[in-house]
Amino acid sequence: MSQNSDTAQDAGPQDGLQGGPTGPNHVAIIMDGNGRWAQRRGQPRLFGHRAGARRVREIVRACPDLGVKYVTIFAFSTENWKRTQTEVSGLMTLFRHYIKKETRALHDEGVRVRFIGDRVRLDAKLVKLMDELEAHTSANTKVNLTIALNYGGRDEVARATQRLAQDVADGRLDPADVGEETLPKYLDTCVLPDPDLVIRTSGEARISNFLLWQSAYAEYEFIETLWPDFTDEIFANLVKNYAGRDRRFGGVKT
């Protein structure tokens, strides 16, 4: 299996041949620590979110040289609605501004942008911008950037199961044919390969409902750096570390 596959078909299910002394094809990042970064500077949490958003461009730009074809970032979880109204609405405004401001640069750099997560609860203006950005960049192939917005792994599996059940009810799917390969086709990530490496910043060693199904065999890096301090150099080192990992996928080293 190619590490630099262009299509999800090429990326395919894990067959035990992936990994080894090559770099990760798909890196997923839990961008955590914006709030603490701001608090340490005596600033409001949104100051940290704005600083965090500015880090994304450098990381996406670093991907081609590192051989990373897919990068997926966790921007807002289904649980983040629990935050104050000020923080939530500030984040939603930031997402709108971010899309408007970054569209040209992302397109010029050959980045294809996709969003995963439930759009139903999002503001119509934001959803329109998301749709436009996806359409505008849909022919790009250099890097695939996926932004998880109102995303939760359990929510995604629940929504996928609902659609799967509907297909059974409508006679399009035979329950006897449901196997391990069936559910991924209904997930928001259906066109993406599974992540090879998941990075979480800010020192928390948990995955907070991110890509639950897809990360079954991912390698993990939990690092202390707060997201607004994350650099392309740190990113390159984590990608390099990955090359030393022995991914066995349940098998035995030969």
d(Cα 142, Cα 155) in Å, to the nearest integer?
Answer: 30
* Given the residues 32, 188, 194, 196, the one annotated as active site: 32
The answer to the question of residue 102 lying near Mg ion (CB under 5 A) is no
Angle, alpha carbons 191-102-34 (nearest 5°): 85
Catalytic residue check, 80: yes
Asked if 33 touches ligand IPE (CB under 6 A), the answer is: yes
Distance in angstroms (rounded) separating the CA atoms of residues 138 and 13: 24
The single residue of 34, 65, 80, 241 carrying the catalytic annotation is: 80
**Contact present, 198 and 242 (Cβ < 8 Å):** no
In the complex, least distance from residue 243 CB atom to ligand IPE, rounded to whole angstroms: 26
Does residue 35 belong to the site contacting ligand IPE (CB under 6 A)?
Answer: yes
Where does 12-123 have alpha helices with state H?
Answer: 34-39, 45-66, 85-108
DSSP 142-176: SEEEEEEEEE-HHHHHHHHHHHHHHHHHTTSS-GG
| Least Å from the CB of residue 80 to ligand IPE | 5
Structure tokens at 251: 């098998």
Binding track over 4-43 against Mg ion, x by CB under 5 A: ----------------------------x-----------
Q: Using CB under 6 A, which of 208, 229, 232, 245 touches ligand IPE?
A: 208
Residue nearest to ligand IPE (CB): 35
Whether 237 is a known active-site residue: answer no
Residue 202 found at the interface with ligand IPE (CB under 6 A): yes
Q: CB under 6 A: which stretch of 20-28, 94-102, 201-209, 235-243 binds ligand IPE?
A: 201-209
Shortest separation between residue 237's beta carbon and ligand IPE, angstroms: 21
CA–CA distance, 112 with 138 (Å, rounded to integer): 6
Which sequence positions are flagged as catalytic? 32, 80
